[in-house]
Structure 1
Amino acid sequence: MDMKTLGRTGIAVTDICLGTMTWGSQNTQDEGHAQIAMARDAGINFMDTAELYAVPGSPETSGRTEEIIGNWFAANNDRDKWVLASKIGGGGNGFLRSGRRADGPSLREALDGSLKRLKTDYIDLYQIHWASRGHYHFENYWRYAPEKQETADVLANLEDMLDVLGDLVKVGKIRAIGVSNETTWGISQWLRIAEAKGLPRLASVQNEYNFLRRLFDHDLAELSHHEDVGLLAYSPLAAGMLTGKYLEGANPKGSRKDYQKGFWRQNEFSEAATREYLALAKAHGLDPAHMAIAFCRSRPFTTSTIIGATSTEQLAVNLGAKDLTLSPDVLAGIDAIYRRHPRPL
């Protein structure tokens, strides 16, 4: 397993990270623990969760995933073998702290709750799950309106959070900080304020990245290169779309589309692009999941690619990508498809 460093922290992580967000809703605790064991045996040392999980987030399910992970640590006494990442909800969720956005006081409250559920006294990477001011991630791309943001309020909120995060690093409750579902401007402000005040520096940004959504390739890639803020790429299979299992309106029982009763990644544009990527994989004798994950891992800005699964069988398939290096011919084929389908979602 390849190792990368989280930003400038010196913390070494495997370049594949175990995603956990279905444990406690689609998956039982036993199934979650089986996935942890499988990832461990494959050499993975990096695991990502959030206070919002299990998904879809709700008062009934949120927090369960962290509890399942905490129960694993208690039973196996191996917390020190893992680099553990978790997140505070960014706000606007309606039930976490009554929907209040992330700020200094809520950071302390949320972190203490996560530490209790995770049965640990520290989190290696603590992240802001999404930008409360508004962002273009998830399916907000078509209605993103940054002109409605109040700059002074946004910056005051970031400074407030950084002040508290600095305190939490000093007392040892967290080792490093990151963001998720962020923008180039947002990350630049986190970095600017941290440098000006001598506060913790962002180590990573966890954004969606896959064949169907490559927004990171441009301004974010430039920032990542110059500022050492690596990508933790989530949804490398576009929530399963890139395996082909949803083509022609298919809705496999037990799938994410079936469980969540909706699937916004599927449309005429994403289907056309997916068919071309599947054909490319077939032409080169590759499993399409392996090709998609290997591509994410190959990008110069990627620190780690997050793979999640609802079964150990799926996880075993995804782990098969860990030894794959894509050939120049495959990479050229991917580039050609991307030029024809640059924004299918």
Structure 2
Amino acid sequence: MRIKLLGRTGIKVSEICLGSMTWGTQNTEAEAHQQMDYAFAHGINFIDTAELYPVTPAGPETYGLTETYIGTWLAKTGRRGDAVVATKVAGPGRDYIRNGTPPGPQSMRQALEASLKRLRTDYIDLYQMHWPTRGHYHFRQTWTYDPSGQDKTAVRDHLLTVLETLDAFVREGKVRAIGLSNETAWGVMAMLGLAEEHGLPRIASVQNEYNLLYRTHDLDLSEVSHHEDVGLLAFSPLAAGLMTGKYIDGACPEGSRLSINGDLGGRYTANQEPAVKAYAGLARAHGLDLAQMQLAFSLTRPFMTSIIIGATSMEQLKVNIGAADITLSPEVLKGIAELHKAYPAPM
């Protein structure tokens, strides 16, 4: 398991991060603890969560359970010093989370203190804004994304307020580093510019979706990552399970995310199936597991800080972590490049 630096913070994280968004619905507390035990025994030191989790499905009844499970594991094992813990403050739109209001000094303070309590810690290593207030093109909004109605002054004023609030958390020792999620290249650069202009904390990472079916980070954001040391934390690295091949030909295994969330957050469309079948064929031709081929490819990307894996079973977890030991041949990489040209945006 390779270790990488988180931006310019000096914090060292494993190239595979343990995701947790099923803990509390699809996974019990005992299963969550078992996953953390196994992951840390195999070189992972990085856990990602959010106040919103679990999300399979999300709702007021289970809100915060995932952080609670992580907190009980940290307390039980005494491994807080070994763990890099990342969590997120929710953006606007969920009425059961602070009445759906946009992040601001008071609401962010409430969110932070609640997360610290659930996590049973007095600091968070990486505190991330879960989604922008102004809107973005992630989560299948590519096809309707239109920033032309944004007011630049109002957006910058809000971003500055967010940064100033995060700065207070850092100065208090309650947060070590800050990050963004579901962001655009302009959003990252705006935050970096405001931080430099006002002497505020620097963005360390951006957590966006990245997989063979969704590769927007290959474009403008990869340039931001390279020049500004804002690496990608890739969520949904298996496209919500599509890139395991388990949903091919209409299959819907009992207890799977598709059986719970319907269309996998808009990913489960007719367009994705030919692409998934093609990638599955490539993996099969080279004796590879499709999921491991996908994850191993993501680990080759120069902008990648860590990929956030999620699993509902120990078998899945072992396969996913095993991708760290896979080296893809030039022939496989060439095949992936050709398929990307054939299926550039299948979902």
TM-score, normalised to structure 1, is: 0.99
Q: Distance in 2 between matches of 1:103 and 1:138?
A: 23
1:11 maps to amino acid = I
1:24 maps to amino acid = G
SS in 1 for 2:275: helix
2:191 maps to amino acid = W
How does 1:187-336 map onto structure 2 within 5 Å? 187-263=188-264, 264-336=266-338
Task: Please identify runs of 4+ aligned residues in structure 1 that moved more than 6 A.
Answer: none
Specify the alignment match of 1:10 in structure 2. 10
Gaps of 5+ in 2: none
Specify the alignment match of 2:339 in structure 1. 337
Q: Distance in 2 between matches of 1:101 and 1:145?
A: 20
Specify the alignment match of 1:23 in structure 2. 23
1:295 maps to amino acid = F
Q: Distance in 2 between matches of 1:281 and 1:185?
A: 36
TM-score, normalised to structure 2, is: 0.98
How does 1:157-196 map onto structure 2 within 5 Å? 157-196=158-197
Residue 262 to residue 268, structure 1, CA distance change in 2 (3 Å): closer
Q: Distance in 2 between matches of 1:121 and 1:200?
A: 19
SS in 2 for 1:329: helix
* Deviation of the 1:266 alpha carbon: 1.9
* Deviation of the 1:226 alpha carbon: 0.3
Q: Distance in 1 between matches of 2:137 and 2:345?
A: 13
Q: Distance in 1 between matches of 2:93 and 2:150?
A: 15
Q: Distance in 1 between matches of 2:163 and 2:100?
A: 20
1:327 maps to amino acid = S
* Deviation of the 1:102 alpha carbon: 1.4
The alignment of Structure 1 onto Structure 2 pairs a total of residues equal to: 345
How does 1:26-37 map onto structure 2 within 5 Å? 26-37=26-37
User: Is 2:263–2:269's contact at 8 Å kept on the other side of the alignment?
Assistant: no
Report Cα offsets for 1:246-289 as digits up to 9, x if no partner.
11221110100112233321222210111110000001100111
Q: Distance in 1 between matches of 2:262 and 2:333?
A: 34
Alignment pair present for 1:52 and 2:52: yes
User: Is 1:92–1:132's contact at 8 Å kept on the other side of the alignment?
Assistant: no
1:38 maps to amino acid = Y
SS in 1 for 2:102: coil
Alignment pair present for 1:106 and 2:125: no
Report Cα offsets for 1:95-138 as digits up to 9, x if no partner.
21111111222111100000000000000000000111100111
SS in 1 for 2:148: helix
Q: Distance in 1 between matches of 2:94 and 2:298?
A: 29
User: Is 1:183–1:220's contact at 8 Å kept on the other side of the alignment?
Assistant: yes
CA-based RMSD of the aligned residues comes to 0.8
